Structure formats: structure tokens, C-alpha cells
């Protein structure tokens, strides 16, 4: 389907936000979003994601000095109704006094589109979002998943330059969320509109984002592709928020971590009295006792189905989480060796 071009490029320049009551919701942030890119704003609740999204939408004015540009044009003073953005709200905000079809067609009607043309466009979106048969329903006769689709159809109907989604799946139960996530992913790829997607769920962010902006307490903690954010977090907050991470503090000598369970090569030649490193659970290999560079004792074995999650102690200053293949034979109390590829050990800045 042709959704009408591939949207606008967005630039946010030094956009901070202090609310009237004095809340510093957002530190001045600068950000470039390429045409037809999907950018995810990821962070815990209250970190300023919605505020940033609303500034881009035109529902919130940034503090003095902040600027929002669409395709190089300054739109900071342009109200939302003239920005041509499609928005999906966390609560969906569907009009209760209109049918599903009227909701989807509302933006088209406002634009003065003729009735037949409008009907054709609505039919197109009904097919695209898989809600055939619901056209004449009232909003209170829809399930949560159906509402989510209608909200998306309504936002996309106007062929927006930018699509903004604020936690569109958070209100749904887990199974539905997983299904809709991949559906949404397919749809966003198909539409190819510039998309800014807010979520606090890192799995959602990984699957949907071309790039992820990790936010913390109103500031940007890191910007990168899902792989960059996952494998090479630049600080401890990102390392722990995105995926599971073992954070180990230990002295380092010529690129080797000095751990209670042995010396672990971490690559490089660095020496430090106290290094902070991140090790992902799935990068730790469990070996025969005595074969790895580090030895440990198995404290717990949790069979999760597709893998084993072990907790081992004695290797580092604190217990380590280890994700092992589900074929590994390990029992509580076993002594094991651990080996970790030096590339998998990520040294983090000591202050973060």
C-alpha cells in the first residue's frame, strides 16, 4: 500500500521542558531522526518520553531555545493541527460518539475529502489493520486489541509525515501484546513513515526500532541501534535497563580482571584499581571444572524451556547470572569452570 511518501525528517534541537509547576521533565535534548526511520524512545516510567513525544507532536512547547524542525523547516511555533502528524495515544483516545469507520475517516473529513474517496480510503485502512466487519461498531463494543488497531488506522489515514506512538501496546495483556508487536512491526515497515515510538519495554524497543534512544531522568542516556545499545552500552544504566546484565566491579591488571574465581582476560592492556564491567548472561560459557579461566559453584538452576538460567557464585564479588543451553547438565552445588570471550566483556565508565 502506498501511504503517501515516506514522511519527513525530524530534528530536535536543545529541546528541554520545565512544566509550570517547576517539574524538570526534560533536559535540553538534540536528536536527528532520518526520513522513514523508526526511532524508539525507551526508558522507565517518568523519564520524560511522553514529554519529548508531545514536543515533537506540537502538544507541548519546549523551553526557550528549543527547536523542532520537520524537513529542515522550523515548526516550533506551529500547533499540532497544522503539523500533519499521526498520533496514537496511550489511552487510544477514540471518539466515543463515532463509529469505527467515522473515527478512521475523521481526519479525512476535516481535510474536506469527498465521501466516496473517504470511504475507499477507510476500506483500505480497515483491510490493512485487519478490522474488517467492525466498521459500524461503536468504540465501547471493541476489545483492547481492536481499539489499538482502530487508533493506528485513524492516525495513518491522513498520510501523516510523522507517526507518533505513545506506548500503544502497554494497555494490552502479554499474549496479545506479543502478537500485535510483530504485526505492528510489519505494518510500520510496510508504511515506511518516519515513526517515533515510545515504550518502557526493551523487547518492544529491540524489535521495532531502527535506533533506540534510551532515556533516564529526563536526559538521553544513549542513542544507538538495538545491537549497539545491547552489546556496547556506554553506561551502567543502559547496560542494566536493556536486557539482563551482570555488573562486576574488580581490579584490572594489564587487561585482566582479578576475580575471586580467577583472572579473566577482558581484552586490552588497561590497568585500574577498580574497573566496572558488564557481562551478558548468555555470553558466559559453562565448562568442565578446571577448564575455564574462572571457577565457580552453581547456586541455582532454573529451567525456562528454551534455556537454563543458572546462578553461580564464587567467580566474582557477587553471584553471576548465566544463560546456558538447555542441554547443559548442571546441579546445585556443582563446581564448574566459566569462560567468557574478551569481546563480550564491556568496560563501563566508572561514574554513571
Partner 1 sequence: MRQYGVPRWGTILTMSQKSFVWLCLLPLAAVTAAFFLLPMARLVVAGAEGEHGLAGYLAILAEPRYRGTLINTVVLAAATTIVTLVVATIAGMFLQRHRFPGRAVLIAMLTFPLAFPGVVVGFMIILLAGRQGLIGELSNRMFGEKIVFAYSIYGLFLGYLYFSIPRVILTIMAAVQKLDVGLEEAARSLGASPWAVQRDVVLPALAPAFVASGAIAFATAMGAFGTAFTLATNIDVLPMLIYTEFTLAANFATSAALSVGLGLITWLILALARSFSGSTVAAAG
Ligand X SMILES: Nc1ncnc2c1ncn2[C@@H]1O[C@H](COP(=O)(O)OP(=O)(O)O)[C@@H](O)[C@H]1O
Interface positions with ligand X (CB under 6 A): 19, 21, 23, 25, 43, 45-51
Q: What is the DSSP annotation of 67-123?
A: EEEETTEE-TTS-GGGT-EEEE-TT----TTSBHHHHHHHHHHHTT--HHHHHHHHH
The CB-of-198 to Mg ion minimum distance in angstroms stands at 6
- x/- site string to partner 1, residues 128 to 147, per CB under 8 A? ----------xx--------
Which value, in Å, is the radius of gyration of the alpha carbons in the chain?
Answer: 24
Does residue 95 bind partner 1 (CB under 8 A)? yes
Nearer to partner 1, 158 or 180 (CB): 158
Q: Tell me which of 84, 195, 234, 321 binds partner 1, using CB under 8 A.
A: 84
The CB-of-106 to partner 1 minimum distance in angstroms stands at 5
Q: Which of residues 276-335 bind partner 1 (CB under 8 A)?
A: none
Q: Which of residues 9-28 bind partner 1 (CB under 8 A)?
A: none
Does residue 115 bind partner 1 (CB under 8 A)? no
The CB-of-220 to ligand X minimum distance in angstroms stands at 12
Q: From partner 1, ligand X, Mg ion, none, which one binds at residue 91 (CB under 5 to 8 Å depending on kind)?
A: partner 1
Does residue 56 bind partner 1 (CB under 8 A)? no
| Cα–Cα distance for residue pair 29/10, rounded to 1 Å | 13
Using CB under 8 A as the binding criterion, the count of chain residues that bind partner 1 stands at 28
| Main-chain phi, psi angles of 289, to 5 degrees | -55, 135
What's the DSSP call for residue 37?
-
Strand-strand pairing, 272-279 and 246-253:
antiparallel
What is the distance of C-alpha 194 from the center of its chain? Answer: 16
The CB-of-96 to partner 1 minimum distance in angstroms stands at 7
Nearer to partner 1, 95 or 260 (CB): 95
Does residue 155 bind partner 1 (CB under 8 A)? yes
Length of the chain: 352
What's the DSSP call for residue 291?
T
Does residue 114 bind partner 1 (CB under 8 A)? no
For the chain, report the end-to-end CA distance as a whole number of angstroms.
46
Strand-strand pairing, 38-42 and 211-216:
parallel
Helix or strand holding residue 342 (H, E): none
The CB-of-319 to ligand X minimum distance in angstroms stands at 31
Environment class of 153 (CB within 10 Å of its CB; exposed 0-12, middle 13-18, buried 19+): buried
Q: Which residues contact 290 (CB under 8 A, 6 or more apart)?
A: 337
Q: From ligand X, partner 1, Mg ion, none, which one binds at residue 114 (CB under 5 to 8 Å depending on kind)?
A: none
Q: Tell me which of 2, 45, 97, 327 binds partner 1, using CB under 8 A.
A: 97
Q: From ligand X, partner 1, Mg ion, none, which one binds at residue 95 (CB under 5 to 8 Å depending on kind)?
A: partner 1
The residue ranges that bind partner 1 (CB under 8 A) are 57, 59, 79-82, 84-87, 89, 91, 93-99, 106-107, 110-111, 138-139, 154-155, 158
Amino acid at each position: 500500500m502506498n501511504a503517501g511518501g515516506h514522511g519527513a525528517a525530524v530534528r530536535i534541537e536543545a529541546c528541554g521542558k520545565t512544566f509550570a509547576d517547576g517539574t524538570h521533565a526534560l533536559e535540553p535534548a538534540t536528536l536527528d531522526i532520518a526520513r522513514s526511520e523508526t526511532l524508539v524512545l525507551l526508558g522507565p516510567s517518568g523519564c520524560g518520553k511522553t514529554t519529548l513525544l508531545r514536543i515533537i507532536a506540537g502538544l507541548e512547547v519546549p523551553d526557550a531555545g528549543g527547536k523542532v524542525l520537520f524537513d529542515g523547516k522550523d515548526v516550533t511555533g506551529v500547533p499540532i493541527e497544522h503539523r500533519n502528524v499521526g498520533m496514537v495515544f496511550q489511552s487510544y483516545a477514540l471518539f466515543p460518539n463515532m463509529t469505527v469507520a467515522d473515527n478512521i475517516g475523521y481526519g479525512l473529513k476535516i481535510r474536506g475529502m469527498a465521501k466516496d474517496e473517504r470511504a475507499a480510503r477507510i476500506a483500505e485502512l480497515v483491510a490493512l489493520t485487519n478490522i474488517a466487519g467492525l466498521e459500524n461498531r461503536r468504540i465501547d463494543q471493541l476489545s483492547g486489541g481492536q481499539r489499538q488497531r482502530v487508533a493506528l488506522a485513524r492516525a495513518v489515514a491522513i498520510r501523516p509525515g510523522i507517526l507518533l506512538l505513545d506506548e500503544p501496546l502497554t494497555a494490552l495483556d502479554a499474549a496479545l501484546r506479543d502478537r500485535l508487536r510483530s504485526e505492528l512491526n510489519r505494518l510500520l515497515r510496510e508504511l515506511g513513515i518516519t515513526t517515533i515510538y515510545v515504550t518502557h519495554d526493551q523487547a518492544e524497543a529491540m524489535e521495532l526500532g531502527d535506533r533506540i534512544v534510551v532515556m533516564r531522568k529526563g536526559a538521553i542516556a544513549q542513542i544507538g541501534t538495538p545491537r549497539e545499545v545491547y552489546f556496547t552500552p556506554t553506561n551502567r544504566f543502559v547496560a542494566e535497563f536493556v536486557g539482563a546484565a551482570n555488573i562486576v566491579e574488580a581490579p584490572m591488571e594489564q587487561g585482566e580482571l582479578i576475580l575471586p574465581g580467577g583472572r579473566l582476560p577482558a581484552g586490552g592492556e588497561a590497568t585500574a584499581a577498580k574497573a566496572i564491567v558488564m557481562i551478558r548472561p548468555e555470553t558466559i560459557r559453562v565448562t568442565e571444572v578446571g577448564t575455564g579461566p574462572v571457577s565457580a559453584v552453581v547456586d541455582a538452576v532454573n529451567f525456562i524451556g528454551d534455556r537454563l538460567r543458572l546462578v553461580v557464585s564464587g567467580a566474582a564479588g557477587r553471584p553471576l547470572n548465566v544463560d546456558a543451553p538447555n542441554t547443559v547438565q548442571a546441579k546445585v552445588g556443582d563446581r564448574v569452570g566459566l569462560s567468557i570471550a574478551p569481546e563480550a566483556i564491556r568496560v563501563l565508565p566508572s561514574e554513571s
